[in-house]
A and B are shown apart, each in its own frame.
Chain A
Amino acid sequence: MTEGHDEHDLQHHNGSSSVHRDRSGTVALHERHHRETGEHPLDHLLRPGRIPHIWCTGCGLGVVLTAYLNGIQKAGVDLDKVAIVSGIGCTGRIAGYINLDSFHTTHGRALPFATGLKLANPELKVSVISGDGDLFAIGGNHLIHAARRNVDMLVLCVNNFNYGMTGGQVAPTTPVTARTQTSPYGCWEHPFNLPYVAAASGAVYVARWTVLHARRLVESVAEAVRHPGFSFIEVISQCPTNFDRPNKGGEGIDLMHFYEKKTVVKNGIDPKEADIGLYTPIVCGKFVDQSKPTYDSCYTNMCTMARGGKK
């Protein structure tokens, strides 16, 4: 268990970073091409003509997208077998920017879509990338049951403490006292602690990072994609337009400095101890890493048995 500020992410003096390591095959070729032509090395994984994205200045979602694209390459999986599913929201837009098989479902329904996708195509590596509102409000039931069943997928949940896309309404993640469009006197509801909900529901891999922990996030995505079963990563992100403005949290860069100063990395702790308040210190780390039979492997075995064969 490690504690303390996460200087590792910022002070990387020995040169080689996750951006430059572990590249192989076509990815390396693509990248050399891009570097020689002055295009960004991730351009081949972004849908042509879709950048600039719609996200506001200072929003963390672009960092999450960059980290995911680096992490999925680092995981060393066949990119033709990767499928990305998202729901609706600013975060939900991520699927539409990635130049891999991706699907933008209806609000809250990313998980049932992804579960069906995985059951029908067990060879796929499925990632669900969506917002706190999409996954824990309208989609909350799907989340606890996908985790309970241990469906083999990565769920990357961007928590910006509100419904960003629709103008900043209160969400099940909004900290007590926070002002939003629908809590003008301050939110008085107790929020979910997302890693605790995921772990209690049965997730086998649970981690939380902020967008400033970009390096840790890349490593975590790579690890979680390879981990069989339901992996859950919460990424704390700023929403300078709709959440941090009414709460006087400042601009995107101010929130990045807040993450720099006010996060504590505590790997291995019980996620129960990782509650979040309004601009209170944020506990990050990998909280759960265990193994358990996956839903798809149990389902395949059950089908074989039902057909009269031995499993």
Chain B
Amino acid sequence: MKYWREPLDRGRCEVPKGKVTIIDKRCKGCRFCVEFCPRKVLEVSKGFNEKGYHPPEIARPDDCIACGFCELVCPDFAIFVDQQASCPPPAAKAPKTQEVGAH
């Protein structure tokens, strides 16, 4: 994830993890969830559901931060998220607060 400024407490922040469930048969293929996921977890699948739409698929499950926006913006009650235990960000750098204090 790109930040325009590295948050000072990034190394200490726990990032929640989410587990996405897609109810394929309800999806009408609007792509709202795919395009507005802040972590680009979802992609439009190649497969069809029984109505002939392409439901989303979970392309990058580890990136989901359980923000819940896909669940909120889906017009068809076709996707929801469960929050899993949080874990520290894998690529977290050493907290910059120390550097700031050193100057």
A and B part of one assembly: yes
For window 40-70 of B, CB contacts with A under 8 Å fall at: 51, 53, 65-69
Chain A residue numbers with a CB within 8 Å of B97 are none
> B15, B31, B72, B78: which contacts A214 (Cβ < 8 A)?
B72
Whether A67 contacts B72 by the Cβ 8 Å rule is yes
Chain B CB count within 10 A is highest, among A13, A56, A63, for A13
What is the minimal beta-carbon distance from B85 to any residue of chain A, in angstroms? 12
Determine the main DSSP class of B at the interface with A.
loop
Chain B residue numbers with a CB within 8 Å of A253 are 30-32, 35
Whether A41 contacts B36 by the Cβ 8 Å rule is no
Chain B residue numbers with a CB within 8 Å of A46 are 77
What is the minimal beta-carbon distance from A89 to any residue of chain B, in angstroms? 16
Please report the total number of B residues contacting A with Cβ < 8 Å. Answer: 35
**A225 contacts partner chain B, Cβ-Cβ < 8 Å:** no
For window 45-98 of A, CB contacts with B under 8 Å fall at: 46, 51-53, 55-63, 65-67, 70
**A256 contacts partner chain B, Cβ-Cβ < 8 Å:** yes
Q: A20-B66, A20-B68 are in contact. Are A35 and B77 (CB under 8 A)?
A: no
**A19 contacts partner chain B, Cβ-Cβ < 8 Å:** yes
CB-CB nearest in chain B for A59:
B75
Determine the main DSSP class of A at the interface with B.
loop
Whether B73 contacts A63 by the Cβ 8 Å rule is yes
Whether B35 contacts A66 by the Cβ 8 Å rule is no
CB-CB nearest in chain A for B66:
A15
Q: A41-B80, A51-B26, A57-B29 are in contact. Are A215 and B72 (CB under 8 A)?
A: yes
How far is A35 from B67 in the complex, measured between Cα atoms in Å? 16
What is the minimal beta-carbon distance from A256 to any residue of chain B, in angstroms? 6
> A53, A61, A65, A212: which contacts B73 (Cβ < 8 A)?
A212
Q: A19-B68, A61-B75 are in contact. Are A252 and B83 (CB under 8 A)?
A: no
User: Which residues of A are at the interface with B, using a C-beta cutoff of 8 A?
Assistant: 9-20, 35, 38-43, 46, 51-53, 55-63, 65-67, 70, 211-212, 214-215, 218, 252-253, 256-257, 260
User: Which residues of B are at the interface with A, using a C-beta cutoff of 8 A?
Assistant: 1, 13, 15-16, 21, 23, 26, 28-32, 35-36, 38, 51, 53, 65-69, 71-78, 80-83, 86
